[in-house]
Structure 1
């Protein structure tokens, strides 16, 4: 078996979170006189639950179709009633003053405000041009024009860096995957294996070109935080995607990438212009490294062509072989 070592891509420093409205706003219908109905959906003791609260929850449910909104709104209302009852009872027991609860509320508040700022920074980013989209398509043939569906055998190996060379050499010398697995067992090297069928866009982008060059039976080795991952190509089939089909996903991917870069640049500028002092046991810690990581470009994840059934939400979360 032949093998070439590759480094597995790192994780993004910052992932942009974008709220997508997934349901049509509910409209209130009046009586024969055309009077506007109340925005109150229910009263729980002395407190009201409004249509606006229901709509807010619906907007956070991606994939909800307009025709499902009415039924979904009734289910949401029941959950909000249960929630309101729990809140009222908690307040009665003064749980809202519990230090742990107060701390969680403040943490959630900070996260929401920080996310709003991140989204505001992202709003200033320009959308990619048609030329930039076409250029990306042309530069990534393994993703589009020469896209393939891969049948892969994956072996995740727990190993220390000093073991990497020995394991890699044994993989090269092994006449079969079974022989390599027996070597791992004989040397008490922990591993886990599985088989998977993955489209090109579901593979680590930094390794895709190398994987695309594999022939049946050949393998690639990638380093991971826990050790090594061995990918063996069992077979593949061609499934190209034309530029028109790929365009929406490429546009979303490039836009999200620009937003992430803009946020990283902005955070770095804020760090550089602020007085940050580490105290106590945190003095001399990884603060400088964290600042450098904030300035580093985010690792790239492949956009999913529309024909594959993967959308911009999948791109935002990142894709890799599991």
Structure 2
């Protein structure tokens, strides 16, 4: 908060000379005002700012808001705010924000795990902590349905090395691509950690998905244990995330049971049909939870261009072999 206050003071100056130390207006764009509170809001979403970067971050954020404001004014002048698709998008964003706010409010009521619960979880997952390993492996991504994955998975225990894996995949007629990497046990899907720990060098494990799968072939392993104190923060974050997910699922289930829900038209379904599960995502492992606990926005202003650029930066899996 002190950093935000410093940014507000910096923004009240122009060319180093204060105009109005008490003003809450950071800038005016035609007849519209951009307030210091708006700047502070977007600065806060960016996360921690180094003290020597407060002024630069505040001004950069303000310039981004000015860019956004001139675009908004141009859109309103062209009556884009009345365009059916824009109206629908605004309503969808409103609904998403309200649902997220409800989930966040519910999450605040979740109690943190006790030291005993943290210790119990640590002891129950030796492959993640006390006997944690670093794996140098070949990660082979395959493009295959669950039905196609079954016969491939059945042959994994008999394979020895990547050449055998490639032969199995070519015989199965699926597309695949491989890369060599070194990862810790926490980077694996949680349900695969114990199975990977049981593998020797040269052995492989298939981890399936709804549309594709990964085959991990172990090249080399080395011990990299974590003691309880090193793992405590990650375990706490993971258990809190799990409790929040469970609490939200239970609450949504209760709300659905008390709501009058009618499916009509092409969405009509029998009353006995299962309800669609709540789309929630939990961190894969406790250590991964520590990294995903805080995800500050990197852009001070979310817009279509920024989202498009982010999506382009994502690395896509390729399947060069068949």
Q: Which bracket does the TM-score occupy, shorter chain normalised?
A: 0.7 to 0.9
> Which residue in the other structure is 1:206 paired with?
191
Alignment match of 1:302 (pick from 269, 277, 285) = 285
Q: Is 1:39 the counterpart of 2:24 in the alignment?
A: yes
Match of 2:59 among 74, 78, 81: 74
2:287 alignment partner, SS class: coil
Answering whether residue 194 of structure 2 is matched by residue 194 of structure 1, we say: no
Alignment of 1:68-147 (within 5 A): 68-147=53-132
When residues 111 and 286 of structure 1 are mapped into structure 2, their CA distance, relative to the original with a 3 A threshold, is: farther
- Residue from 272, 280, 286 that aligns with 2:257: 272
1:6 paired residue number: none
Deviations 1:22-54 (A, max 9, x none): 964434389999x84211111111111111111
- Counterpart of 1:28 (choices 9, 18, 32) is 9
Shift of 1:166: 3.9
2:243 matches 1:262: no
Return the match for 2:49 from 37, 41, 64. 64
Q: Secondary structure at the match of 1:59?
A: helix
Shift of 1:230: 1.6
Q: What do residues 66-125 of structure 1 show as CA deviations (whole Å, max 9, x unaligned)? A: 432221111111111111111111111211111111111111111111111111111111
Gaps of 5+ in 2: 296-316, 318-322
Provide closer, same or farther for how the CA distance between residues 271 and 189 of structure 1 changes in structure 2, counting only shifts above 3 A: same
Shift of 1:137: 1.4
- Inter-CA distance 210–275: structure 2 relative to 1 (3 Å threshold): same
Change over 3 Å in CA distance of 1:67–1:248 after alignment to 2:
farther
Cα offset, 1:162, TM superposition: 4.8
TM-score between both structures, scaled by the size of structure 2 = 0.79
Aligned position for 1:12: none
C-alpha distance in structure 1 between counterparts of 2:102 and 2:148, whole Å: 45
- Contact 2:138 / 2:219 at 8 angstroms: preserved in 1? yes
**Deviation at 1:229?**
2.6
* Superposition deviation, residue 276 in structure 1: 0.5
Does the CA contact (< 8 Å) of 1:39 and 1:52 recur in 2? Answer: yes
SS in 1 for 2:119: helix
Where do 5+ consecutive residues of structure 1 fail to align? 1-20, 315-321
Paired residues of 1:158 and 1:189 also in contact (CA < 8 A): yes
1:250 paired residue among 235, 238, 249: 235
TM-score (norm 1): 0.79
Question: How many matched pairs?
Answer: 290
1:186-230 Cα deviation digits (max 9, x unpaired) = 553211212221111111111101101211111112222125432
Are the aligned partners of 1:40 and 1:48 in contact in 2 as well (CA < 8 Å)?
A: yes
Which whole-Å CA distance do the structure 2 matches of 1:175 and 1:120 have between them? 51
Find out whether 1:167 has 2:152 as its counterpart: yes
Partners of 1:281 and 1:83 in 2: how far apart?
A: 40
Q: Greater relative contact order: 1 or 2 (C-alpha under 8 angstroms, separation 6 or more)?
A: 1
Counterpart Cα distance in 1 of 2:161 and 2:134: 23
Q: Determine the C-alpha separation between the residues in 1 that align with 2:181 and 2:2.
A: 31
**CA–CA separation in structure 2 for the residues paired with 1:301 and 1:65:** 31
* Conserved? CA contact 2:238–2:283, under 8 Å: no
Q: Work out whether residues 234 and 286 of structure 2, in 8 Å CA contact, stay in contact via their aligned partners in 1.
A: yes
Structure 1 contact 22–63 (Cα < 8 Å) conserved: no
Secondary structure (helix, strand or coil) at the match of 1:28 reads helix
